[in-house]
Each structure stands twice: as structure tokens, then as C-alpha cells.
């Protein structure tokens, strides 16, 4: 009997965590970019200039958010439901990246002045839950 895998709790939790992580990444990336922008008035012409380090961090964190959304949406497809172990491993990797980003924000490595405490705590919470959910997704694959 060939049964199609159903959407289970770990997959649904993974999608929710993916979107929560993407929201945190987009908001943190925006805050980094907004706080690093400086307006220069050069002979009556106003220009916005970014610090290259801040620009790299802001864009990199935003790209991670986009990758999280694509991964969360694709985990709902039939490919995601049949390859739960792969998506579990991806969830663990993304969780570790979120934990590292949270630690970088908390320690001040990331050039972020305002709201770094709340962003780092959010990254710690979502990253830890992603790692836990990824482990559960990987174990669910071995149990079937």
C-alpha cells in the first residue's frame, strides 16, 4: 500500500519556525542597514552612504531570511514530506547559524546599536527551537 506522507507536527513547527526566523532576520537586517546609513550633504546634494561592514551584515542576514522562507515553503511540498531527513538537517544547520548570529549580536560583533538585545534573544530562542525541531524531524525519518 503506497501512502502519501501527511503533514505532521514537526513539519508544521518547522514552517512556523522558518517564518519566525525569517521575520527576525529581515527585521535585524533592516535595523542594521537603517542604523548604519549616514546622510552626506555635498554642495546641496544629499546622499546616503553605508558602512561596508554594516552593508555586508545587513544584506547577509536578509539573504538568510529569504533562504529560510524558501526552505519553509518547500518543506510543505511533496519533496519536503518525502525528504524529511534532509529538511531536518537543514533545520539544524539554520538553527546553529541563528544561534551564532544571536551570539554575535549579543557580543557586539554585528554592527547594530539599537534593539540588539531583543534581536539576539529572539535569535537564541528561534535558533534553539530550530535545532530541536530539526533533530525531531531527522528522528521521525528514521522511525518510519
Give the residue extent of every domain in the chain.
9-143
First to last CA, the chain: 14
* Beta strands in the chain, from DSSP E residues, in sequence order: 37-42, 45-50
Query: Which of 10, 28, 38 is closest to 140 using CA atoms?
Result: 10
Confidence of residue 63 (pLDDT cuts 50, 70, 90): very high
Confidence of residue 2 (pLDDT cuts 50, 70, 90): very low
Alpha-carbon distance 47 to 54, whole Å?
17
In this predicted model, what pLDDT tens digit does every residue of 14-56 receive, in sequence order? Answer: 889 999 999 999 999 898 888 877 766 666 666 667 677 888 8
C-alpha dist (Å) from residue 11 to 29, 31, 116, 120: 26, 30, 30, 25
Smallest Cα–Cα separation from 137: which of 12, 2, 3? 12
**pTM of the complete model:** 0.79
CA–centroid distance for 51 within its chain: 23
Amino acid at each position: 500500500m503506497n501512502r502519501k506522507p501527511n503533514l505532521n507536527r514537526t513539519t508544521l513547527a518547522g514552517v512556523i519556525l522558518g517564518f519566525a526566523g525569517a521575520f527576525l532576520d529581515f527585521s535585524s537586517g533592516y535595523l542594521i542597514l537603517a542604523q548604519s546609513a549616514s546622510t552626506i550633504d555635498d554642495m546641496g546634494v544629499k546622499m546616503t552612504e553605508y558602512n561596508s561592514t554594516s552593508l555586508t551584515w545587513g544584506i547577509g542576514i536578509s539573504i538568510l531570511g529569504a533562504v529560510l522562507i524558501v526552505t519553509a515553503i518547500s518543506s510543505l511540498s511533496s519533496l519536503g514530506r518525502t525528504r524529511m531527513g534532509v529538511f531536518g538537517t537543514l533545520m539544524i544547520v539554520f538553527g546553529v547559524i541563528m544561534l551564532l548570529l544571536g551570539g554575535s549580536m549579543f557580543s557586539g560583533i554585528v554592527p547594530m546599536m539599537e534593539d540588539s538585545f531583543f534581536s539576539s534573544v529572539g535569535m537564541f530562542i528561534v535558533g534553539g527551537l530550530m535545532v530541536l525541531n530539526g533533530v525531531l524531524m531527522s528522528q521521525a525519518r528514521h522511525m518510519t
